[in-house]
Structure formats: C-alpha cells, structure tokens
Structure 1
C-alpha cells in the first residue's frame, strides 16, 4: 500500500462524496423545497429566488397526482442545487418567526 506524505491530501479525498451522502443531501433539498411550497407567493417573492424555481413551485401547487407532485418536488430539489441552501433556510426561519407576512 502506498502511503501519502504527512500533511498532504489528494484533491480527490477532499471532494469525494459517497452515494449515500449525495442522496441525503438531495433529500434535504427536497424537504426544503416542500417547505417552500407551503409559503404564499408574496413570501416567496421576498426571498429573491430564481424565476425558474418560483415557476416550479407554483406548478407543484396545481398538481393533484401524488406521483407527479413527487416528481416535481424532486425537480425543485435539482433546481435548488444551484442555490445556497443556507440562505433559503435563513429566509425561511425569518418568515416562520413572523418577520415577514404575505
């Protein structure tokens, strides 16, 4: 077995995410997306989300089929990968604590 010199790490070691870790991150983003669906349109607008994400959230509200709704929530999770989830969580907490109405 080849050993690495002390204090040096491969770039691959620091960037590697297991399949399970990626799935858990995706589920967390989907859960965050489901929370966004429960907000009013006015509250969503105050968060400064991209237009594509806003339209995907509006579409989820119109879908009645369970499986179609689930797929759309997954799509919202995919869109949210491009955004910093910490900012969204901060905005959600501010809204939930009563900082912003409608």
Structure 2
C-alpha cells in the first residue's frame, strides 16, 4: 500500500544496525535500522529512521518517501543525477573528507 508523502534524499555512509528476528517455526530473518539526516528538494534537513531487509551499500543515494503519520513508507536507490540540487549540495557537505 502506498501512503504517499514527501520525498527526502540521503546517502548511506555506514552500516545499519542489524536486528535478528525469528518466527514460531524458527525461521530467522534480519533487518537493518538506519538513522540518517535526509534532505527535502528545498534542502530542508530531517532526521529520519527507517529499516531495510539488507545492509545497504555504502555510497548509495536513496530517495525516501516520508509520511508524517507512518514515517518512511518506501525507499529506493537513485542515481546522484536524480537528486534535486539543494538536497545534493547538503549531502555533499556530509561526506567524509576522504570520499
């Protein structure tokens, strides 16, 4: 289900926090939690928490769909060229010196 919302952009620089879960039939699965500073198209910052079903690639640019009631409802990796200029400028300022 798509709840809609606003787009924010983030860059993955670190591993997510791994959480192990099990079912009643002893099936194991993992989730990875992220807490990132993400930027709107206008460059406005928002601290956003979300989870992924795998550890995301370092250096990956993400577009996050943020719904004010549900939080992040969707994330997808995007090309650097797909990020609005004001958001991209803020993401570049966050990069470590040796990137």
Calculate the TM-score normalised by the size of structure 1: 0.26
Structure number, greater radius of gyration: 1
Q: Greater helix percent: which structure?
A: 1
